[in-house]
Amino acid sequence: AARELDTWARRTGRPDAGQRALALATDLFALPELRSTGTLDGTAFRRRSCCLYYRCPNGGLCGDCCFDRPPQRSSLRAPAG
């Protein structure tokens, strides 16, 4: 959300609003409850956990995915029975 707000703010000539959004995101990810959830680098956030969106039909990687590409699904299946 902070990245999108920053993009909007720059596009509309409101860099102050983008700076506030990024400052708020930085403060939020400094909280103990959120600190270990990912890495914030400027406007880029990368989660440390997976939401499994890539497993949905026609899914892919979300914008803050912890993967660079979707993991390969195992071809092993549980034995019938």
Supply the pLDDT for residue 7.
92
State residue 28 phi and psi, 5-degree precision.
-65, -45
CB burial readout 1-13, b (16+ within 10 A) else e: ebbebbeebeeee
Q: Is the pLDDT at 66 greater than 90, yes or no?
A: no
Q: Is the pLDDT at 44 greater than 90, yes or no?
A: no
Q: How far apart are CA 48 and CA 36, in angstroms?
A: 8
Show Cβ contacts of residue 5 under 8 Å, excluding neighbours closer than 6 positions: 17, 18, 21
C-alpha 67: how far from chain center: 10
What confidence tens digit (pLDDT) does each residue in 20-38 have?
999 999 999 899 999 899 8
